Structures are given as structure tokens and as C-alpha cells.
Structure 1
Amino acid sequence: MSSVYVEKAAGQKDVYDPEKLRLSLKRSGAEDKIVTDIVERIGELIYDDIPTSVIYKKAYALLRTKSKLSASRYGLKKAVLDLGPTGYPFEHLVAHLLRAEGFDVKIGEVVKGHCVMHEVDVLAKKKGVSYLVECKYHNEPSRFSNVKIPLYIQSRFEDIDKHWKKVNGHKEVYRQGWIYTNTRFSEDAVKYGECMGLNLISWKYPKKGSLEDRIRLNGLYPITCLNNLSIADKQELIKRNIVVAREVKKRPEILESIGIKSKNKINKVLKEITALCDQL
């Protein structure tokens, strides 16, 4: 039997591998029987050069009919894409992840460099060391961060580092930090970042400690994952800088403030958050 090819978001083509679909479905926590059924049904629908986005939509729809909770987990990548259209909510998501890893963080800090002032997306501090974190958000899966991004970040770091080195008696130390993106980096971007000591975090990179891994490990699912909130509800929460679902659990009164008056709906939302975020 000849191989069937799929077309990825960025336009590359690859051989369809049902095991990749099986693995992604299993990561959602779906039962083995459900996973096998969906993989088989998708296999019946596959055609040559089918976009991976179509496979995802079909698999998501099938999973949602069987387990809404698993569908929420399976839809994590799209949920991060749905945080837009601006990159500000993504910066908040990254800040939450860093806090979970023990950092003190500030968003949108202005830092003095040798030549100019720099606005840093996220400034993370731990044990007297400050890390500069740049967040590159894309609302389309086909977009990626090319080598210009780490080149630009490296030049900013060097300008800031030069200033701090000449400030006598300053106790803080600047270290090169992270570039987070919700899609992917080009090969040259990864190569340059590794060469210069920049920590690059994308959806699937590195193999251990990727953006996807960090979100799942810390249970910091964005509110856009939630099935019991409407698109309008989610947008209202994002306007109030509520980006991760756990924040709603800590402040359930925020649901009433955005116009949700039904106690039944509020309870459904809170139960969904508990099930989604607390089973690490």
C-alpha cells in the first residue's frame, strides 16, 4: 500500500502516521477504546495531501462527542492560538509558567541599556539573577519565528548587559533568558539560539520542557480551553487579564462580574477547571 501524505500548517508534506494521532489523543487523557475508535475513523477519512488542520478538526469533533474534558486537553494548541489577537495574553501565560517554576516576574518592564531603553516582555528573577524573556505570539499555526528574532534579542541583551556591567556595586546579575513562542522556530533560529546560549521554548521544542510540556505539567491551561464558557465569556475574561483557568477557580466571583448569573453554569465551569487543571 502506497504512503498517504499530509500537509502541515507551514506547507511541508509528511507521511501520515496514525501513531502520532494516537499519541496526541492519549495525551488528552482519553480512554484507550476511545482513542482506537477515533484513529480508525480518521483512517477511513484520510486522503492524499490532507491538511493536518482538517485531521485535527475531525479528531477534535469526534473526541468532543465522547469526552469533553479530553477534548479540552486535546485542543490545547488551538486554545493558545485563540488567546489573541494581541500577544499580551500570551505574555501573561508565560509569566504564570515562570511563577510556577519559582521565579518572581514582572510584565512590560522598562530596562536601561548602554545605548537605549528596552521594554522587556517578561522580567524573571530568581536568587538574585534576572532573566530577560521575550514572547513571540502568532495567531496562525503556519507562522513561525525566524533567525531574526534571536538575533534581535541577543543585541538587546548585549546592550543591557553592557550597561549593567559598568554600574559599580550593583548586586543583580543579568543572564540571557528565554524566547517563548506558541508555534515554532526556524532551524536557523534554533541553531543561533543554541550557539549564543539563548533558551528557546516553542510548542514542541525542546523535546523536554517545551511550551506544551510546561503548560500540561503545571496545569496552567488557558481559559480558551474551557467548553462551558462561550467565546464572548472568554474574551471578557481576557480583557480583565484572566488568562489561565486556575485564576477563575481562585476568583469564582469574576464569572458573575462578566454577566454569568446562572449558578448551575458557574458550578459547571468550576468543575471543568478542577478536572482539567488538577489532574497533572
Structure 2
Amino acid sequence: MLVKKYSGELVPFNSDSLRHSLTRSGANNEQVEKVYTQIKEKLFDGISTRELYQLAFEALKSQRNSFAARYSLKKALRELGPEGFYFEKWIARLFQEYGFESTTGQTIQGHAVSHEIDVVASKGNEMLAIECKFRNDIDAKISVTTPMYFLSRFKDISDISYHFFGQNKKFTQGWLVTNAYLTSDSKDFGKYYNVNFLSWDYPIDNSIKKRVDKAVFYPVTCLTTLTDVEEKTLLQNQIILVKDIINNKEALKSLKLDSEKLRLVLEEARELIDYKLEEE
């Protein structure tokens, strides 16, 4: 059986790959097999990856909302758009999780021209200039021209002291962060010129998807019990993470949910936060 990718390319269906992705949802082996059996009955030659994803999402949701929420992480990150403003906020919070102070949308003067830095993060002697490249396209890849351009920008702000977080410091590292993929040329360029990358699947052992699972750092757009409008309302109120809902009793107040819906949302949120995926 063939599966049609988003690019239109037809590839052989891989049952092991599908089972593995279902396991990443947090479902145990028995639940994965049950979900896989549900999906298998509805497969057909030429099914699109979008249709396959939807079948898996619905089957996981029938088992547990939090399974579907975790499975939908990549889609949830795309919903931090459409321009990527909330993606930058989310990345700033992600670096805070690692002990950094961070701020977004800072304009600074370089040697030659001024630059807007998406995220500035500082810890100890380190200060990072982080450029966020947000993409709505599912199969989007960041080509080598992007890190080339970023490197020239980073050189223009290097060796200048800037005042952030109550002290004067120079930038020590440049980071290029994206919810998309990186081309092999981009990776090679970054390795040679010491550009730090963080993408959906790179570095392999410390990618965005790995970090999210380790730190249970799910955005509110993961939650399957909320509507798109409700998710947007939370983002506008600076409720970026599922953790924020658990840690702040007032977080959901603006949504004016009835008691049953509130119970379902909190239940899904707690399951997402409480369940730790095992290391692969």
C-alpha cells in the first residue's frame, strides 16, 4: 500500500513507523495495538499523510484525550502562528526552563545596522541571540541561505556590550530555532561556523520534540478539549503552556467554561503534565 506525502510523493506504508509514532503519544503497547487495529480497517491505497494523521488522532482521542494531545504536538506548534509571535514567546519560555532569563522582540544597534532580535536569553556569562523561523507548511525546510544570513547578522552584533536583565553583556552565542526541518546543507554550515540549531527533529537527542517531552513543555494549542477560539484567547492572555493552566487557577476564567467542560480540560491538562514518556 502506498501513502501520499504532503509533497505529492508516494511512499510505501510503514506499519512500524506508524506504531512508533503512536507509542510517542504515551499509549501503552496494548492501547497502541488497539488504535492500530482501528486505523488499519480504514486504510486504502493512496491515502494521504493528512488523512492518516487524522485517523490516528481520532483513534487515540477515543482512548484518551491526552494521547491525542501529545500526538498533535507538531500541529500544535504550527498553531502558535500565523506569524509566529506566540512561537517566539514559547521559545523564550523554553529557555527559561533551562535557567535563562529571556525577553522577546528587542531592537539593538549593530556595528553597521540595527537588528530585531526575536529572543534574548541570558544565564551566567552566556547571552544568546535567538532567531526564530516559524513555518506554517508541514514539510517546510530551512535552506542554507537562512543560517548564512543569520551568521552575518550575528557578526554585526558581536563584540558590542548591550544592557539586558540589569547588566551589560556581550552576545556569546547565536541560535537559529525553527518548528520546521533543516536541510543537510544548513546542518553542515551550522557545524562549520558554530551556529547553534534547534529544530523539530534536530539535534537528534535534543530536538524540540525531545525537549518538550522531557520537560512536559506542551503549548496550550495541544489541548483537544479546547476550541481554536478558546486557545487563541488563552494565548492573548499570555497563557502559553499547559503548565500555566495547572499552576494558575485563574488561567481558564476568561473562557467562561461550564463545569463539565472545565473538568475535561483540567483532566486532559493534568494527564499531559503528569505522564512522563520513557526515554527511547
Q: Is TM > 0.5 for Structure 1 vs Structure 2?
A: yes
Task: Identify which of 133, 137, 145 aligns with 2:134.
Answer: 137
User: Given that residues 39 and 55 in structure 2 are in contact (C-alpha distance below 8 angstroms), is that contact kept between their aligned partners in structure 1?
Assistant: yes
Aligned residue number for residue 176 of structure 1: 173
Q: CA, structure 1 residues 194+141, in 2 after alignment: closer, same or farther (shift >3 Å)?
A: same
SS at match of 1:60: helix
CA distance in 2, matches of 1:78, 1:150: 24
- Aligned residue type for 1:56: Y
- Aligned residue type for 1:273: A
SS at match of 2:115: strand
User: Given that residues 239 and 251 in structure 2 are in contact (C-alpha distance below 8 angstroms), is that contact kept between their aligned partners in structure 1?
Assistant: no
- Aligned residue type for 1:274: R
CA distance in 2, matches of 1:259, 1:225: 20
User: Given that residues 223 and 234 in structure 1 are in contact (C-alpha distance below 8 angstroms), is that contact kept between their aligned partners in structure 2?
Assistant: yes
Q: Deviations over 1:131-166 (max 9, x none)?
A: 11111111220322211211111011000014459x
Q: CA, structure 1 residues 211+10, in 2 after alignment: closer, same or farther (shift >3 Å)?
A: farther
SS at match of 2:142: coil
Aligned residue number for residue 268 of structure 2: 272
CA distance in 1, matches of 2:119, 2:36: 40
Superposition map of 1:99-110 within 5 A: 99-110=96-107
Aligned residue pairs total 272
Q: CA, structure 1 residues 10+193, in 2 after alignment: closer, same or farther (shift >3 Å)?
A: farther
User: Given that residues 108 and 114 in structure 2 are in contact (C-alpha distance below 8 angstroms), is that contact kept between their aligned partners in structure 1?
Assistant: yes
Identity among equivalent positions (%) equals 33
1:202 aligns with 2:199: yes
CA distance in 1, matches of 2:174, 2:270: 32
Q: Deviations over 1:204-234 (max 9, x none)?
A: 1121011111111111111111122222111
- Aligned residue type for 2:34: D
CA distance in 2, matches of 1:44, 1:263: 36
CA distance in 2, matches of 1:39, 1:230: 27
Aligned residue number for residue 13 of structure 2: 16
CA distance in 1, matches of 2:233, 2:241: 13
CA distance in 1, matches of 2:159, 2:96: 27
Q: Deviations over 1:74-98 (max 9, x none)?
A: 1111111122212011111111111
SS at match of 1:254: coil
Q: CA, structure 1 residues 148+13, in 2 after alignment: closer, same or farther (shift >3 Å)?
A: farther
SS at match of 1:135: strand
CA distance in 2, matches of 1:76, 1:29: 12
Q: CA, structure 1 residues 184+10, in 2 after alignment: closer, same or farther (shift >3 Å)?
A: farther
SS at match of 2:176: strand
Displacement, 1:13? Answer: 4.5
CA RMSD of aligned residues (A): 2.1
CA distance in 1, matches of 2:39, 2:27: 16
**Structure 1 spans left out of the alignment, 5+ residues:** none
Superposition map of 1:67-78 within 5 A: 67-78=64-75
SS at match of 2:82: coil
Displacement, 1:269? Answer: 2.1
Q: Deviations over 1:226-247 (max 9, x none)?
A: 1222221111111222221111
Aligned residue number for residue 145 of structure 2: 148
Displacement, 1:7? Answer: 3.2
